[in-house]
Amino acid sequence: MKESILVDMSVTLIHHGHIRLLKKAASLGEVIVALTTDEEILKHKGYQPELSYENRKEILESIIYVKKVIPSPWKIDYNFFVNTGAQYLVHGDDNSNDIPQEKLIIYNRTEGISSSFIRLKVIQAVLEIAKRNISKNK
């Protein structure tokens, strides 16, 4: 029987870094994604995610590397981890979850990409479009 691998993520804006992490996790066993709820994102990041929990879950469930998606808090504690039945937690090198080291598998984050980076690029593009439209209408 394959081991269960827990991967916790918010996936507010999905990108290739997420896919690469899921692919690595799937090479170790069956992937359970602990997906941060909308309420937890709002509480800890201060904004409502662009995509709702249900939309993010639907996207993740369509990815070949993912076996199951469950709602999760912002941080995974040992009790939550144990209750998932997973043998390991896979995370990027920015991990702050309170899980014993022997249960953690850490990978380097994909350089040059994050949901925050994509969000900033979108905001910059919208501002540029607005400037051009204002200039045209003067």
In the prediction, which pLDDT does 93 show?
85
Tokens 């994509």 correspond to: 118
Of residues 34 and 109, more confidently modeled: 34
Q: What is the pLDDT of residues 47-63, one digit of tens each?
A: 999 999 999 999 999 99
- Determine which helix (DSSP H) or strand (DSSP E) holds 107, and give its type and residue range: strand 104-107
- Residue 122: predicted pLDDT: 81
Q: What pLDDT is attached to residue 1?
A: 62
> What pTM was estimated for this model as a whole?
0.85
Window from 13-17, 24-28, 61-65 with minimum mean pLDDT: 13-17
- Residues 6+ positions from 7 with CB-CB distance below 8 Å: 21, 22, 25, 31, 32, 33, 34, 89, 90, 91
pLDDT, one tens digit per residue, over 74-131 is 999 999 999 999 999 999 888 889 999 999 999 988 777 777 787 788 888 888 888 8
Structural domains of the chain sorted by starting position, each given as residue range(s) with its CATH number in brackets:
4-110 (3.40.50.620)
